[in-house]
Structure 1
């Protein structure tokens, strides 16, 4: 990467990049890693992880040229953080605990990790009670993290059934907002409804982003199957009315068992 960024012998495209211009590529590569994992394609995953690693190397090189930090500093920093956040495995100097790791439960490990993060924020002057959740995360993922952090302060529903009651309340508020000519208020109420649904997913132990992806895939599959059924009956999607499409849709659902 240093050679590619060399002002005299490097590549013009690589030379022109900045941290800001690279940011979208980083997101894209991360999504492609997740896609390879979800498809179970390990050969593809190997390549995608390399592409993601390139973004780390690339941005570290840009930072090094600016006199800020280099790739080695990135690696040292994450190693130090892993040691610091795993006191049940490592001593303060990074050695393994002489008697082996403390056998903590997953809940205890989560509490320890959270306490460590809170201490780091405190040392750094941070004051965000919700943990400074990155604003660039997908909205569903960010909502889950915000609500999870709020729950650690005791601000949470006691169980999933309580969240369902909240969802029904939010549906009623959306319905009421629909009766008024105020798109900003309607958007706000729909946001409240989506946030409540994210909390239901969290209480059920479901990743809302993954769940919606599965829902998207299911809809796409059923839609294409619906169109195929209409075609088999001698019609076309372009000419079919809503009752015909709904009838074909229900046939698709029944065929899925």
Structure 2
């Protein structure tokens, strides 16, 4: 892995494949580190002829933390958003998109395929809106456009994403990571539940694992810290025509980010 100053912050990143091939950037979701994109997945994409870069967003993993900004009240932020108010947060998702744009510039990559999951999908959409010249294609996975007419997450998913570990002990962080995966993860690909497995860094090489727990950087404040951006793409769906890039989105049939049976997506 390596790090680079991007948009005034130090970002951790890791690359796979030939640097001369078309680039693919992978953007992780809320509270997730770059290692939540499994090595096996990154290598398989690289084997298809791509230069794959996964990175830690600001405030997560081994990228720079903005602890001086404090931990926001996520419950209050969500309530303000539901009331149509604009919450006061230290930074926005558009600034996180600017981080990625700066990382691309630092790596001398002028254009790339942008793939994001969950919150990362929101950032990917903002990349296509504000930096369309840099985006070859957009893939938004289990994400949203901010259109309030779309079906909401299930109550269980909303609850677990707004909660936190019982304590800062690694065991509690691991238990919390498993709880999150049980609610929002794929039913067919549950994480290995052995504590010794989850905390053995030698095993963090892809496939079924729990990197959110303790794989690269233990940050007990976790989702609370990541929530400094307000966790909402706001009106990005209204601006989507600004990008001419090819796009796609994906949700599993049992995605708890959507109400059951609604088949929600990223469109208007």
Q: TM-score range by the shorter chain?
A: under 0.3
Ranked by relative contact order (alpha carbons within 8 Å, sequence separation 6 or more), the top structure is: 2
> Quick check: which one's strand share is greater?
2
> Quick check: which one's helix share is greater?
1
TM-score by length of 2: 0.23
Q: Name which one, 1 or 2, has greater alpha-carbon Rg.
A: 1
